[in-house]
Structure 1
Amino acid sequence: MDRRNFVTSFAIAGAALSFAGVTTPARAAVPDLRFRDMYLRGKELSPQAIALQGQRIEMTGYMAPPLKPEIDFFVLTKTPMATCPFCDDAADWPNDIVLSYATTPLEFVRFSSLIRVEGTFDTGIKTDANTGFVSFVRLLDVSYRRL
């Protein structure tokens, strides 16, 4: 049987199994965490956020303008920010932020573009050795897509 016939036969068999009610396992749903559900009051994490520690999650927000063009991290914010919060003393840094780290360089997304981020949720006060940033909530090994 040549490759084309094999692929066609495989597709027909898959359709027959699907029709018969047999399905392939779907990708497990990744939990979603909203900014409004992250804290109870002040900086006290909600039970939902605490339960997500160490898990892959998704969040929706905006990428704050980076400090430099080549980035491997960004700050995910609840609302769009037109200026870099570290470059303008007058800028109001929002209470709802998540420091987001990638393992490879990232492409900056316009500050007003809504993005969906997936990463491993990490909490606790940590200081980044390279930047000196102090964070309480982080996403590690992130990927994102524009919405």
Structure 2
Amino acid sequence: MSRASNLRRRHILQAFAALPLVAALPARAAESLGFNELYGKVSVLGLSFSDKVKTLAGQRVTVNGFMAPPLKAEAQFFVLTEIPMALCPFCSSDADWPDNIIVVYLNERQTFGPPGEPISVTGALDMGSWTDPETGFVSRLRLRNASFQVG
């Protein structure tokens, strides 16, 4: 290596050494979202999403609620409800979509325990009418790549 290359290299290294160290930023905590914050005004067209939901779409959120009885003992999705339910609130279209349920898509298939216990679910908020091609389940709100904790 030539003397000019060594000097250039030394100057570059000194310049980097003079830069302030930036600590890694901690992961941003998921925003909390309540069932009472999902929808805005009711119009002749039905329910409209709240401004908070529109702002948080695509971001990780945490919602507390109850797991509705799943359609199968082992699945990769379930329905999160505001109150404990005895039956799965399966809807045929989003026109009659209740305002107190969210479909939760987990990272992997799981076996579920008995419903009725409070849970906390965190996942990426997805909004808008969507039909699951595998199940035909129609939803207006979803949490994708989600995980949950009992209690």
TM bucket normalised to smaller? 0.7 to 0.9
| Equivalent residue letter for 2:79 | V
Residue 84 of structure 2 aligns with which residue? 80
Query: What is the aligned counterpart of 2:104 among 77, 96, 100?
Result: 100
Two-structure CA RMSD over aligned residues (Å): 1.9
Whose strand proportion is higher, 1 or 2?
A: 2
Residue 38 of structure 1 aligns with which residue? 38
Distance 1:108 1:26 in 2: 32
| CA offsets 1:62-120 (integer angstroms, 9 cap, x no match) | 0000111111000000000022334xxxxxx8531101101211231432100000000
Residue 63 of structure 2 aligns with which residue? 59
Distance 1:118 1:109 in 2: 18
| Equivalent residue letter for 1:54 | G
Residue 17 of structure 1 aligns with which residue? none
Residue 133 of structure 2 aligns with which residue? 129
Give, in angstroms, the shift of residue 26 of structure 1: 4.3
| Equivalent residue letter for 2:34 | R
Distance 2:98 2:40 in 1: 16
TM norm structure 2: 0.72
Is contact 1:62-1:113 (8 Å) kept? yes
Where does structure 1 differ by over 3 angstroms across 4 or more consecutive aligned residues?
Answer: 23-27
Aligned length: 119
| CA offsets 1:9-55 (integer angstroms, 9 cap, x no match) | xxxxxxxxxxxxxx985442210110001111342111011000000
3-state SS of the aligned residue for 1:83? Answer: coil
Is contact 2:74-2:109 (8 Å) kept? yes
Bigger Cα Rg: 2
The 1:37/1:96 distance shift into structure 2, 3 A limit, reads: same
Distance 2:99 2:33 in 1: 16
TM norm structure 1: 0.74
Give, in angstroms, the shift of residue 127 of structure 1: 0.5
Gaps (5+ residues) in structure 2? 1-22, 91-96
